[in-house]
Amino acid sequence: MSDIIIIGGGIAGLSAAARLSVDAQVTVLEMESAFGYHASGRSAALIEENYGAPSAQALNRASMEHFEAGNYLTQRGLMIIASADDAEAFHADAKQMGVQEISPAEAIDFVPVLDPKKVALAGYHAEAFDIDTDLLMQDFIRTIRENGGQIISDAIVTSIRQDDHGWHVSATETYSARTLVNAAGAWADLIAGIAGVTPLGIIPHRRSMARIAAPGGHDTSRWPMFFGTGESWYAKPDAGALLVSPAEEDATYPHDAFADDMTLAKGLDRYQQMVSTPVTRPLATWAGLRSFAPDRTLVLGRDPDVPEFIWCAGQGGYGFQTSPAASVLLADLVMGRTPTLDADAVAALRPDRLRV
């Protein structure tokens, strides 16, 4: 019998398990054969401290020390571009994202395939970083194992019950623990329902992605990640190629997501309108699920009705960038310690805010 069972082997579950394993015996259950298979394996993997709701920004800031100490970051930079017709939207985005306005010529210096006839406005922020997601997850896995924790793959949860002795989770075998952490991503509400806990309204949303050859044969390695206004599309260098996404958030159900061809075509067209090189057939396409609570803020902490059930869900697009601080907060809350994170941010993340 473990002290704590964590359901979900993505970045949320692995980081939480690593922190909790310092003080408790933990068991991680992942339904797939590989860890980080769903949303975690399909992330754009960028941290920019001003991205997200105020509580997510607080987690971003609190995560930077861990990222820097572990050498997980590589400077990428972030840029937004707009045509003259989108000036109002551009200025709203620039203010929200904290970018410094630059000239179209400077934007083209960063990304030489931008069309000078189309790009009328641009903004840039240097302090945006790629995250080495594989290294980060492997380090959390190593910590769990060094502390005596179990990580079990191919563990599809079929039933969960609670009695006076704790939780009993059936997933081929039966695993028992006093405390249960729900880090199941798109499946978080489903897991809550199986456990007899009231769901919080966490809904997965599909986001599609295409990987295209480096435009015009350029070396894309030093290009920033660049966005259209309103995050109507974005592009990001990726191992000598370019990722392009329509940045859609279409509500769906928990499943192994795949790209929607029509949505992807629209996103590629929006990208195409701002560049001078034609888009060729994608090298690959895929999709991931970004799961949001109704207020689009992470959910971290004890369920108000079933305190032995811990929520670690609703990461949306912030899972990797918040994981170091979110996992520390979760461990503090589970172990009864006073959180080091700002009290207002902690309150904004509590599950009971979603219960009326």
Task: Round to whole Å and give the CA distance between 181 and 250.
Answer: 27
pLDDT at 40 over 70: no
The parent domain of residue 278 ranges over: 78-125+203-292
The token pair at 240 is 């000598």
> Could you give the angle at which helices 54-69 and 319-335 cross, rounded to 10 degrees?
90
Q: What is the mean pLDDT of residues 229-239?
A: 93
Where residue 284 sits, what CATH number does that domain have? 3.30.9.10
Where residue 40 sits, what CATH number does that domain have? 3.50.50.60
Instruction: Verify that 6 and 48 share a domain, yes or no.
Output: yes
262-311 confidence digits (pLDDT tens): 999 999 999 999 999 999 889 999 999 999 999 999 999 999 999 999 99
What pLDDT shows up at residue 41?
A: 47
Q: What is the mean pLDDT of residues 79-97?
A: 94
303-345 confidence digits (pLDDT tens): 999 999 999 999 998 999 999 999 999 999 999 999 999 999 9
What pLDDT shows up at residue 98?
A: 85
Instruction: Verify that 192 and 320 share a domain, yes or no.
Output: yes
Instruction: Verify that 37 and 143 share a domain, yes or no.
Output: yes
Instruction: Verify that 210 and 149 share a domain, yes or no.
Output: no
What pLDDT shows up at residue 36?
A: 67
Instruction: Verify that 38 and 158 share a domain, yes or no.
Output: yes
Indicate the pairing of strand 309-313 with strand 299-302.
antiparallel
Number of domains into which the chain is organized: 2
